[in-house]
Amino acid sequence: MALAMPMLIVGCGGFDRLSKINMEYPRAEFCSECHIDIYKEWKESPHAVSFASSSYRQATNDYQFAGCISCHAPEPAVSDGEVKSRNIFRKEGVTCSSCHLEESKMIGPIEPTGKVAPHPIDVDEDRYRNSRFCGRCHVGTFNEWDKVAQDDKRSCQDCHMLPIKRKITQAEHMLSKIIVAMEKEVLQKQHTFSVHAKLPDFKPFDIDVKKQNSQIKLRLANNLPHSLPTGDFGFRAVIVDILAIHKDKSVEPIKRVELLKEIKTAIPPKSAASWGFSVSDNVTAVRCVITRRGMDPEKVDKLFETEVILE
C-alpha cells in the first residue's frame, strides 16, 4: 500500500491505458509523463511523422496504399511475426507502444533500476540490440546489411540511435522527483532514428584525391553496411558536391553527382565510386560535401564534409 499511493499520485492511472487497443490506447503524450527526454527525441524523429508527413501522404496518393500502413502506423506488437497496422491514432506513426508494448507489458533492453514499477516491465536486450528488429519494416536495407560479412559490423541502432548516459525516466513534480531520484543513470540509446553526420568511433566514408597535372580523380568509399543511399520506397538521393579551393581562398563548384537507387548510381555497401575532372593550376585543395535529400525539398541532411590539400 505504501507504494501504491505514490504511483497513483504520479499519474500512472493503471495499466489498462497501456495494454488496450481501444479509445484508451496510450498516446505518446502519456509516456511523456515519465519518459520526458525520450519523448522529446521521438517527437522530432522520422518515426513520429511516418504517417502524418506530407511526403508519405503524397507517396501513397492520399493514403490509398493500404499495404504501407503496417510499417507507417504499426500495431503495438514486437513479436517476430508479420507487422500489422493499427486503426487508431495513426497520426502518431511509429509510436512508443509500437516497439515497446506486448502482452500487457512494456518491453525494453535495459533492466530497470528504480524502486517503483508503475507498470509491468520485461527485458529483452538481444531483441533491441539486433538489426533484425529494425529490419521488420526496413526490409531492403536489412537485407543489404545482412549480406555484408564483417566481424565488427555496426547494427542499425549503433548508427541511428546514438549512445547517452542518463536515467530512463525524468520527473517534473515533487513526488515523482523523489521516486526518480532512486534510479541510476545507465547507458542507453537516444530515440532519434536519424542520419547522423558524426558517429562515435566510426568513419562512414573515405575520400581519396589524386592529382596528375591538371587532372583530378576523387574516390568515395562507402564504409556503411548498406547502400548509399538505401531504402525501399520513396525518394532518397545523396548529393556529392565537389568544389575547388583556389589560392585566394575562393571556392568554385566543379562537379555535382546524384546517387539514386532508381538510376543505379547508388554505391553498394563496402564499395566505392570514382569521378575525374580537371582543375586550373591555382587550385590548392578539393572540398567534398555529401548531403542527403528526400521528398521534402527543404530538409537537407549533411552527412559528411572534408577538404583535401593537393600536393
pLDDT in tens, 51-86: 999 889 988 999 999 889 999 999 886 666 678 898
Number of domains into which the chain is organized:
2
Sheet holding 283-293, edge to edge: 251-259, 237-246, 283-293, 300-309
Domain that holds residue 283: 205-309
CA 167 from centroid of its chain's CA atoms: 21
239, 160: one domain: no
- With respect to residue 197, please indicate whether it lies within any of the assigned structural domains: no
Helices (H) and strands (E) in the chain, counts: 12, 12
For residue range 241-297, list pLDDT tens digits in order: 999 999 999 999 999 999 999 899 999 999 999 999 999 989 999 999 999 998 777
166, 211: one domain: no
32, 95: one domain: yes
- With respect to residue 13, please indicate whether it lies within any of the assigned structural domains: yes
- The secondary element (H helix, E strand) that includes residue 146 is helix 139-147
The whole-angstrom separation of Cα 100 and Cα 9 is: 24
Dihedral angle at the C-alpha atoms of 86, 89, 235, 135, nearest 10 degrees? -40
247, 102: one domain: no
- With respect to residue 200, please indicate whether it lies within any of the assigned structural domains: no
Q: Which of 189, 224, 255 is where one domain is finished? A: 189
- With respect to residue 183, please indicate whether it lies within any of the assigned structural domains: yes
- With respect to residue 111, please indicate whether it lies within any of the assigned structural domains: yes
For residue range 105-141, list pLDDT tens digits in order: 889 999 999 887 778 889 999 999 999 999 999 999 9
The whole-angstrom separation of Cα 92 and Cα 88 is: 9
Could you tell me if 17 and 31 are in contact, meaning their C-beta atoms sit under 8 angstroms apart? Answer: no
Q: 283: Cβ–Cβ under 8 A, 6 or more apart, which residues?
A: 244, 245, 246, 247, 252, 310
150, 222: one domain: no
100, 246: one domain: no
64, 173: one domain: yes
